[in-house]
Structure 1
């Protein structure tokens, strides 16, 4: 199986390739670093356009190869530049062609370093792709270590969309620890010291926390029966 790492020719960052290589080190799969070159589709056989595309394609291929060559340890990551009508469409075409297990993309340049922010390409792919889409935090650094822990963010609808099962299956496949977290937002006044309002808020949060933990435990127990996952 293959992991497609999407490369942005305009930003030329290595974050998605770094994450893809780390995932591949965990799973034993191979990585293909790919850039998608947008063009009119179907091709118009315009000599001027073809000449321009050849120039841009050569520059993109050179930039992509330079990023891959700069990876520590020089991992075996083949590169390619694919032409398509749009970047999301091109990435989906590559995922289908190579039977990719996942597509790894970078965060939007508008996001903060170390954070995940969706852009136009990632926004479309996370809602339309038939394979898992991983998004590298902006500036994600290369690591020689495999992925050792997965975190699943649990919400009220998670039991209906199969989050716990999917996370448990991935954790087992990757031989990684699974952590399940749930969040609640509390008003600022709840942290201002003892008060009647804060006491009531604490009681509500405690009840929510217990109910959520019970729900997660029930789902994990059902998953353990089917998958034989560890505690």
Structure 2
């Protein structure tokens, strides 16, 4: 298994690399550190044609050497400088060439508030990648956790939930970690029951049925829990869950996204605002055996 790191010589790039190391150690995977470079034609005539590419390549190799030096000795890692007109498309192209299972990026860069501040490249990836995209929260580089502790899968009733569950199960099985299934129910204060008991509200009851069916679809004896969480908002609901360093959450793509592409939906975007654990956004449909994610 290979994980592609969309690298920049920035704190966000360091967050992505640190998270990729954690995932690689957990999954016995290898890392490809990829720096996408803009072609000279996109930046005008500051430097003569050819000279610009040479200077940029030399600087890129220096950045990549520093990144490679930061990877622990027990992790197999390679570096790549990739020229492309689009940074996001360049990462997708490189991931396809390298037969990567997922793309890992840092969330810092401007856009959303709190621990994730998504930049233009990450936003574009989350709306176009045919592979799972793993977004590292700000400060992931400072964590001392070496492996994934638990996988949380946020299930809803949208098309693609079966694929999301299968991806989360395969990851948890490969990582030898427990799997936590959750359904977030945002209720108006007047309609909220104040507890996650069955039958208090149709949405809550439906969420329990969804999780029960998902849990029963997994192999007997697999370490899985399922819970429905209520809140006045999605943010309140997800914050009421217990989170630990080393956890990660998996979500599906929005129903508005194209098939076989990721698309960050409004619910996932709200969750990003309050979470400080990595988020994996899974495409809506499989794209073939060799690119079936984890």
Change (3 A) 1:162 1:74: closer
* Structure 1 unaligned spans of 5+: 191-196
Give 1:220's aligned residue. 215
2:244 aligned partner: none
After the TM superposition, which residues 174-185 of structure 1 pair with which residues of structure 2 at under 5 Å, given as runs? 174-185=175-186
Q: Deviations over 1:178-217 (max 9, x none)?
A: 1122223355xx4xxxxxx4xx531797333343122111
Q: 2:84 aligns to what? A: 84
Tell me whether 1:15 sits opposite 2:15 in the alignment.
yes
The alpha carbon displacement at 1:161 in A equals 5.4
1:173 aligned residue: 174
Where 2:215 maps in the other structure, the secondary structure is helix
Give the distance between the partners of 1:223 and 1:7, measured in 2 at CA.
36
Pairwise CA distance, 1:57: 1.9
> What is the CA distance between 1:160 and its match in structure 2?
4.7
- Residues 152-171 of structure 1 correspond to what in structure 2 (within 5 A)? 152-157=153-158, 160=161, 162-171=163-172
The aligned length equals 215
Q: Report if aligned partners of 2:3, 2:24 keep a CA contact under 8 Å in 1.
A: yes
Distance in 2 of aligned mates of 1:89 and 1:117: 20
Contact 2:105 2:135 (C-alpha < 8 Å) held by counterparts: yes
- Per the alignment, residue 31 of structure 2 pairs with 31
Give how far 1:10 is off. Answer: 5.9
* RMSD across aligned positions (CA): 3.0
Instruction: Return the alpha-carbon distance in structure 2 between the equivalents of residues 159 and 48 of structure 1.
Output: 49
Displacement of 1:102 = 1.1
CA gap 1:58/1:74 in 2 versus in 1, 3 angstroms: farther
TM-score by length of 2: 0.63
22-31 or 164-173, larger mean C-alpha shift: 164-173
CA distance in 1, matches of 2:60, 2:74: 19
- For the residues of structure 2 that align with 1:72 and 1:173, how far apart are their CA atoms? 21
SS of residue paired to 1:179: strand
Larger radius of gyration: 1
Structure 2 unmatched ranges of 5 or more: 225-294
SS, match of residue 49 in structure 2:
helix
CA 1:72–1:98: 2 relative to 1, 3 Å: closer
1:3 matched residue in structure 2 = 3
Describe the superposition over 1:50-82 as per-residue Cα deviations: whole angstroms up to 9, x where unpaired. 111211221122123223323566844222211
Equivalent pair of 1:148/1:175 in contact (CA under 8 Å): no
Question: Is the aligned partner of 1:126 residue 2:121?
Answer: no
